[in-house]
């Protein structure tokens, strides 16, 4: 375990249990961090926290305990068991796909576990937690008893700022893991898909879409595997169209419709850049009852914010122009760096540019299997606004 001594005054956030230690707050280091463990001490040398050590990240330590306990197998077991109990309280019926461990939100900084039916996917988000893999894996197997466990080690790459489009995974020969969400059948693309294979965080928004879709036309922008469209069709939507730039995602979107007994028409799967596709649709004055706009994070680092804001404004302006009077727009941002407040302002500017009046009817982010610790508000990344067009 390496010992990280903080500069004077830098212990304040730790005493408030904030779990991140930035490299700039370290005065000196001693010892050996090769086991991935760090002990944080204040300027007077008093131990105040322990956690996972990531020497190549700006966040050199992510804290797990503030009472002197060492992160080890027993602690992992306890934290995972607590996470499992929470899910028992909050998950809807007929739902076997859920986030089982949500990093800081479950006091397990740097560890995600998503469960898809019989398969669990554990993602280790930092170099430190990668070094704890053996014990984390054991605790995950014991707690969640998956038939198969896939491990995604993205930590070392993330810490070094490497893009992770083609991550190697320690799989156990699974590609598509079937699961249920509110009784609908989906497959997580756990071997090569985005994230851990499915965007579980949008479950509540899909369920709301389902409840208002009856008889309506739905345009699903940045659709990935088309889960919003499937929810809309289950709610009686007249038609649902998926737009995404990824062929792999759209192939899975077709499978999802088939698996739920909906017809598959080529014209309902559009491989295109959403910005270009929207411009075409706007020029031909298309009108949709419901538009869903759930883009990837346009801002991944602070320097991106300006350009990202412009991107969100453009895509929202174009999407708004397609919404029929009295229709709905669900617009989302999953950039953690973009605050809910700023996102609201961007969406407002877009409505001015579009010359369209909307009211915010509901604000909805990730579901309750994505808890956010009060100690670490940065964990709240997904912002969704349900907007209704006047008319």
Residues marked active site are found at: 334
From 126, 156, 225, 335, residue interacting with ligand SAH (rule: CB under 6 A):
225
d(CA 107, CA 161): 24
Q: Is the alpha carbon torsion for 50, 52, 54, 60 positive or negative?
A: negative
Residue 177, burial from CB neighbour count under 10 angstroms (0-12, 13-18, 19+): buried
Q: Which of positions 284-313 make contact with ligand SAH (CB under 6 A)?
A: 294-296
Q: CB of 106 within 8 A of CB of 78?
A: no
From 20, 66, 144, 228, residue interacting with ligand SAH (rule: CB under 6 A):
228
Residue located via tokens 């993330």: 158
Q: Which is nearer to ligand SAH, 132 or 199 (CB)?
A: 199
From 23, 191, 246, 260, residue interacting with ligand SAH (rule: CB under 6 A):
246
Q: Which is nearer to ligand SAH, 54 or 225 (CB)?
A: 225
Instruction: Work out how close the CB of 240 gets to ligand SAH at its nearest, in angstroms, rounded to a whole number.
Output: 12
Classify 226 in phi/psi space as left (phi over 0), alpha (psi -120 to 50) or beta: left
Of the candidates 105, 127, 106, the one whose C-alpha atom is nearest the C-alpha of residue 2 is: 127
Q: Which is nearer to ligand SAH, 228 or 312 (CB)?
A: 228
Q: Which stretch binds ligand SAH (CB under 6 A): 225-233, 323-331, 361-369, 376-384?
A: 225-233
Residues 6+ away with beta carbon under 8 Å from 57: 23, 126, 127, 158, 159
Residue located via tokens 């298309």: 286
Q: Which is nearer to ligand SAH, 245 or 287 (CB)?
A: 245
Tokens of residue 311, six digits: 């991107």
Q: Which is nearer to ligand SAH, 224 or 288 (CB)?
A: 224
| H or E element, residue 292 | strand 288-293
**Residues 175-204: x where in contact with ligand SAH by CB under 6 A, - otherwise, as a string:** -------------------x----x--x--
**Three-state secondary structure call for residue 279:** helix
**Residues 251-280: x where in contact with ligand SAH by CB under 6 A, - otherwise, as a string:** ----------------------xxx-----
From 179, 224, 269, 288, residue interacting with ligand SAH (rule: CB under 6 A):
224
Is 244 one of the binding residues for ligand SAH (CB under 6 A)? yes
Binding site for ligand SAH (CB under 6 A): 194, 199, 202, 222-225, 227-228, 244-246, 249, 273-275, 294-296
């Amino acid at each position: 375990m390496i010992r990280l001594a903080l500069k004077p005054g830098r212990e304040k956030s730790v005493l408030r249990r904030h779990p991140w230690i930035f490299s700039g707050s370290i005065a000196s280091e001693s010892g050996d961090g090769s086991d991935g463990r760090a002990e944080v001490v204040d300027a007077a040398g008093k131990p105040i926290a322990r956690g996972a050590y990531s020497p190549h990240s700006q966040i050199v330590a992510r804290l797990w305990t503030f009472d002197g306990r060492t992160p080890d197998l027993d602690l992992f077991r306890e934290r995972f068991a607590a996470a499992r109990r929470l899910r028992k309280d909050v998950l809807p019926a007929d739902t076997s796909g859920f986030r089982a461990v949500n990093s800081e939100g479950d006091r397990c900084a740097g560890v995600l576990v998503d469960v898809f039916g019989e398969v669990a996917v554990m993602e280790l988000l930092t170099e430190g937690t990668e070094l704890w893999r053996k014990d984390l894996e054991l605790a995950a197997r014991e707690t969640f008893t998956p038939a198969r466990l896939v491990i995604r080690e993205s930590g070392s790459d993330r810490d070094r700022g490497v893009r992770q489009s083609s991550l190697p995974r320690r799989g156990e020969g699974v590609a598509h893991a079937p699961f249920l969400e509110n009784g609908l059948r989906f497959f997580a693309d756990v071997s090569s898909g985005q994230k851990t294979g499915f965007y579980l965080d949008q479950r509540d928004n899909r369920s709301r879409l389902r409840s208002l879709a009856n008889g309506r036309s739905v345009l699903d922008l940045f659709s990935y595997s088309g889960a919003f469209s499937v929810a809309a069709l289950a709610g009686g939507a007249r038609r649902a169209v998926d737009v995404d730039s990824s062929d792999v995602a759209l192939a899975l979107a077709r499978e999802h419709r088939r698996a739920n007994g909906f017809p598959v028409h080529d014209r309902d799967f559009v491989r295109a850049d959403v910005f270009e596709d929207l411009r075409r649709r706007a020029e031909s004055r298309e009108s949709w009852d419901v538009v869903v706009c759930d883009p990837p994070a346009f801002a991944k680092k602070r320097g991106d914010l300006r350009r990202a804001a412009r991107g969100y404004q453009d895509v929202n302006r174009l999407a708004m122009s397609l919404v029929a009077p009295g229709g709905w727009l669900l617009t989302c941002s999953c950039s953690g760096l973009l605050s809910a407040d700023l996102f609201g302002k961007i969406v407002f500017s877009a409505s001015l540019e579009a010359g369209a009046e909307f009211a915010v009817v509901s604000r909805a982010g990730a579901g309750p299997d994505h808890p956010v610790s009060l100690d670490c508000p940065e964990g709240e990344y997904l912002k969704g606004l349900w907007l209704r067009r006047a008319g």
